[in-house]
Amino acid sequence: MDSLLSLAFDNLSCYDNGKIRKGLRQVDGLLAQICLSRGARLTAAADKRRSMMTPSVAVPSAAAKDLAALQEDLAFRQFFRLQDGFEWNVALRLITCLDRLLGKGSNGQNDLLILSTLDLLQAMLLLHPPSRSLFARELYLNLLLDLLEPSNCPAIQSATLRTLTSALLDQPRNTRTFESVDGLLAITSLYKQRAGASSSRDVRRTLVEFLYFYLMPEVAPTTAPPVTALGVMPPPDAASLRTSPTKDGGRDRKGGGGSGSGSGSGSGSGSGSSAGEAVREIQATRLVVKSTEEKQLLLGRYLANVDELVWEWYESAPFGVMLC
């Protein structure tokens, strides 16, 4: 699996759009191999070939494995463990690729590559929750906020909002970083610009969904996660795929890739202090969580109708039970 990732990473690191597109397809194919059952993959491939011969035939979506089946899959567990280190972390490579694409300017081909990269990044943040800790860094959050600029097309703005939601999910520290880099100002400015614009209804709907998500009360972790190369927990069971306590201590070690290349030695040398480090992490995280009322006050600095928005949020309960 590491050889497949290495090949994809080589293509993603190129400046040629064709190579980048190939790298994105390789990552997408690898995720499909992991997340779809073998029967579903064969059926999907046959349906795709049939649709190419008969364009009028719609291609049905392949059945994905459920969480219980995914956690027992050896390929997924191997992939998950590889993601715990910087060397094979797909999300980090996609972020770097996104930064490179953003520097190329806006055109049709480039926009399609940005959309594909955002979709894969969102998928990785959902598949490997510990990767969300990368977005406690201002640099990476600012990259997403740059994609919300009016110069970008509505499709990119909507995809960015979905990716941003995945990056902040169950990560109070990321949310505090988002607030510190004027993320609320960027979101509310876009919200006001898109008001009444019929060509961007999807963007406005996604903006409202994001604001509903942001207003959810935060919950600090209550258990100490094991510490890995990324400073996050490994995947022992299904619960670890649904929630992931925040840990950002490992991000400062990005520059020291040489010492982190041997994941086994790195995890062993830090085992003595990992328990105390995890406890300190929980205590620090508890200090940064905010309630809905506190977030409402912050949001009120940029929006005049926050009370109405909060009332609609309580009435509609868009996410069911309000839990972070």
> What is the rounded distance in angstroms from the CA atom of residue 276 to the CA atom of residue 281?
9
* DSSP secondary structure letters along 248-289: -GGGGGTT-HHHHS-HHHHHHHTHHHHHHHHHHHHHHHHTT-
Whether the CB-CB separation of 95 and 121 falls below 8 Å is answered with yes
User: Percentage of the chain surpassing pLDDT 70?
Assistant: 64
Q: Which long-range contacts (CB under 8 A, 24 or more apart) does 113-117 make?
A: 113/17, 113/20, 113/21, 113/24, 114/147, 114/156, 114/159, 115/155, 115/156, 115/159, 116/21, 116/24, 116/28, 117/24
For the segment 20-52, what is each residue's pLDDT rounded down to a tens digit? 999 999 999 999 888 875 544 445 555 545 554
Mean pLDDT value across the chain: 76
For the segment 53-64, what is each residue's pLDDT rounded down to a tens digit? 555 444 455 556
Q: What confidence score (pLDDT) does residue 151 get?
A: 87
CA angle, corner 100, sides to 232 and 135, nearest 5? 25
pTM beyond 0.95: the answer is: no
User: Percentage of the chain surpassing pLDDT 90?
Assistant: 44
Q: How confident is the model at residue 268 (pLDDT cuts 50, 70, 90)?
A: very low
Phi, psi of 223, rounded to the nearest 5 degrees? -120, 155
What's the half-sphere exposure (Cβ side, CA atoms, 13 Å) at 122? Answer: 17
Residue 223 has pLDDT above 90, yes or no: no
Highest mean pLDDT among 42-46, 204-208, 261-265, 281-285: 204-208
For the segment 290-301, what is each residue's pLDDT rounded down to a tens digit? 998 999 999 999
